[in-house]
Amino acid sequence: MQEKFIFCDPDKCLGCLICEFVCSAAKGKSTDPLLSRIRVVNFEPVGSMAIACVLCKDTPCVRVCPRKALKQEEKTGVVLVDEDKCNGCCWCFEACPFGAIAFNPQKKVVMICDYCDGDPACVKYCPFDGALTLSRIDEVAHSRRKDVFKEILKETAGKRA
């Protein structure tokens, strides 16, 4: 069984920032969105997407860390930050191809989504149906295939009749 990851559907995400706040509240006990581990990108003027750690197999962040502060849990795939070892050099930032690592300006260490022990608060509070989900990669792929199929049906609706 593959692990599930936080998946944002840009067609459904409206960039309301609720996930950012909920993450700061759950993880940092603060209303400061800078403490969020999930980040929303708003493309002007229409279109947005939330990005959190996607649990890569190949974890470039872990490999580049010069102080061995990052470690990937074997079972869940979550990357844990050892805050004592991390000195906020942010090499992992540059290595992460998704921009899924955030910097804690108070503690001066990096923050990576830890999936709230398998029940992410951001997914729970996302108000838009299906915008932010906890999905296996095959589920995402399958729903994509369904979307493509629907499109084809729409396009051929006239012809088939």
Partner 1 sequence: MFGYMGKILRVNLTDKKVSEEPLDRHTARKFLGARGLGAKILFDELKLGTDPLGPENKLVIATGILTGIPIPGSARFVVMAKSPLTGIWGESPAGGFFGNELKAVGYDAVILEGKASRPVYLWVNESETEFRDAGHLWGKLTRDVQREIFKEVKDETAIVGCIGPAGENMVKFASILFDFNHVAGRTGMGAVMGSKNLKAIAVRGTQRPKYADEEKLIDLSLKELANKGETTRRGCYWPDALDKYGSNVDYRYWQLTGRLPTQNFRKCTFPGYQNVIAETVSSTILIRTNTCPHCPIQCNRIVQVSHPYEVDPDYGGPEYETTAALSSFCMNDSLAALAKANELCNKYAMDTISTGVTIAFAMECYEKGLITSKDTEGIDLTWGNPEAMIQIVEKIAHRQGIGDLLAEGVRRASKKIGHGAEEFAMHVKGMEIPMHEGRGKKGHGFSYTISNRGACHLQMESDDLFEETPYPEVGIDETVKADRLYAGPEKVKLVKVVNDLFILYDCLPICRWTVYPDGGKRVETFAKIINAATGWNVTIGELMTVGERVCNLERAFNVREGINRKDDVLPKRLLEEPLPDGPYKGETIGKKALDKMLDHWYALRKWDKDSGIPTREKLEELGLKYVADELENIGPPRKAEKHSPS
Three-state SS across 47-92? CEEEECCCCCCCCHHHHHCCCCCEEECCCCCCEEECCCCCCCCCHH
Member of 127, 149, 151, 153 binding partner 1 (CB under 8 A): 127
- Give the strand pairing for 79-81 and 48-51: unpaired
Cβ closest to partner 1, residue 14 vs residue 51: 14
Member of 37, 102, 128, 142 binding partner 1 (CB under 8 A): 128
Least distance to partner 1, CB of residue 45, Å: 4
Cβ closest to partner 1, residue 74 vs residue 155: 155
Tell me how far apart the alpha carbons of residues 57 and 18 are, in angstroms, rounded to a whole number: 28
Which neighbouring-strand residues pair with 6? 134
Binding to partner 1 by CB under 8 A, coded x per residue (else -) over 32-71, reads x-x-------x-xxx-------------------------
Told to check if 31 binds partner 1 by CB under 8 A, we report yes
H or E segment to which residue 18 belongs:
helix 18-28
Interface residues with partner 1 (CB under 8 A) are 11, 14-18, 21-22, 25, 29-32, 34, 42, 44-46, 125, 127-128
